Amino acid sequence: MIDSLRLRLLWWLLIPMAVYVGLSTSDAYDNAVSSATLVQDRALLASARMIAGQVGWNDGAPVVSVPPAALELFASPAQDAVYYQVLMDDDTLLAGRPDFPAAPDFAALYPVYSTTSFNGKPLRVVSYIRALFDEGTLRMVAVSVGQTMQGRQEMIDDQWHASLRRQIVLLLLAISLVVLGLTMELRPLLALKDELATRRPDSLTPLRAGGLQQELRPIVEAINQYIFRLNAQVTVQKRFVADAAHQLRTPLAVIDSQIQFARQLDDPARVAQVLASLQEGSRSMTDLTNKLLLLSQAEASDSSAFPRAPVDLLAVSAMVLEELSGLALKKGIDLGLETTLESAMVNGNEAQLMGMLMNLIDNALRYTPEGGKVTVGLEKKRSQMIITVSDNGPGIPAEVRERVFERFYRNAAPDQPGSGLGLAIVREIVQASQGSIRLDAPAQGSGLVATVSLPALQS
């Protein structure tokens, strides 16, 4: 597997160009062979016709005088050997070699070309037939001229080697231009890489895509979108840490003041009061710490790696109601569960879902006045499991119902206990479970209805 972009693009370029060079070179070779063969054949035929033109009659007998010009046609640096034969139709040899390797066909109407071997070398031969007339007598004479093929091969090599050199130069030039072009065109991307490498670890400013090509800009835009989301998440985390530090600092300062005050007291009754107040403060801090931990776990659970399993919401609701029944009895609140389901199965984390229900019902109990009513409902609608927690407390104004899901936001009186984390925890758990939550006013009277929708587990 090639990891380099340059090498990958070079391969994409080299493969078709190599095929093109191969095909072009093959065509050039075939053309060179055809051209060299045509040149040699024309020279052979011209020589044969020149010799045939010198055949005549002398005292009733055929004679021939081979002109030197007929053989000078083949002069070349290759020093090819030339052979010829002038033969009558009765096999009378008028001139040339008697062992000429090609036998003429006296019935041929056109020059006949052939390639044979003579003295261990390839030989190109032409046979030309001429008719002789003498006092009404028709005789046929065959002139055969042959030439070795070294000059022809040199001509072929000269032609196709030149074409091959041109193709190789073209290929090398294309490779050089691609390498140079890639180096030039990748400079903006490498500059972007250098900019990222020299950034501070806490820098979350968007990348500049001005010098990048149009095809690369979507990558930078996607990175910038991710930076924007990461920046928002970091901002939320910073605010969360600052708010958590503030929420913890206040009760710690109160506890420290109470301890200093207790050290100055001599009255055991007053000391007992201070210790009771210290215990209450400690419980508030423990509750706040547990909620911060639960919120952190809820954020971590929004991942495919977080363990999930089938959970029965009906059983979880019963356990939560049982645990909070003491608080309901203490305030005289009618706390109950309404459902027709025998089970309410969803896919999730049991501890997280129990924390979600605990916070929803605990909030309802805290803000419902004494003698009020809190009802938990469970029903299945199509592929969704619907959980409702309704109360007849003061409710939440419509304009702040979305804000109450923010961390540490409280829509309550200053002396009302609470940390402002309950609904933030609920929303994180619901979103991690691929569900949704909304807050509405009841159809009649005052109060609040929290509705959670989770994907039902198909049986």
Stated as kind and residue range, the H or E segment containing 353 is helix 350-367
Give the DSSP letter string of 152-174: HHHHHHHHHHHHHHHHHHHHHHH
Query: How high is the mean pLDDT in each 10-residue block of the chain (459 residues)?
Result: 73 84 88 91 91 85 85 80 90 90 88 91 93 81 92 88 87 84 78 79 76 76 83 74 65 71 75 74 68 64 64 91 88 91 87 85 88 92 91 86 74 54 80 87 87 86
**Tokens 């990175």 found at:** 223
SS3 391: strand
CATH code for the structural domain at 309-455: 3.30.565.10
Distance between CA atoms of 238 and 246, rounded to whole angstroms? 12
Phi, psi at 142, each rounded to 5°: -110, 125
Residue 31 has, within 13 A of its CA and on its CB side, a CA count of 13
Q: Which pLDDT value is given to residue 379?
A: 93
pLDDT given at position 409 = 64
- The per-residue pLDDT for 385 is 92
Sign of CA dihedral 406, 411, 413, 419: negative
For residue 219, the Cα-to-chain-centroid distance in whole angstroms is 11
Gap between the Cα atoms of 409 and 419, Å rounded? 8
pLDDT at 86: 92
Spatial contact of 177 and 139, defined as CB atoms under 8 Å apart: no
Alpha helices in 211-267 (DSSP H): 217-263
User: Quick one: pLDDT at residue 413?
Assistant: 46
List Cβ neighbours of 315 (8 Å cut-off, separation of 6 or more): 343
Backbone phi, then psi, for 55, in 5-degree steps? -80, 130
Q: What CATH number matches the domain at 202-300, 1.10.3470, 3.30.40, 1.10.287, 1.10.20?
A: 1.10.287
Residue 376: per-residue pLDDT: 93
Tokens of 191: 């500059």
Q: How far, in Å, CA of 115 to CA of 144, rounded?
A: 12
Confirm if 80 and 149 have CB atoms less than 8 A apart. Answer: yes
- Residue count of the chain: 459
pLDDT at residue 444, rounded to an integer: 85
- Locate the domains of the chain by residue range: 5-157, 202-300, 309-455
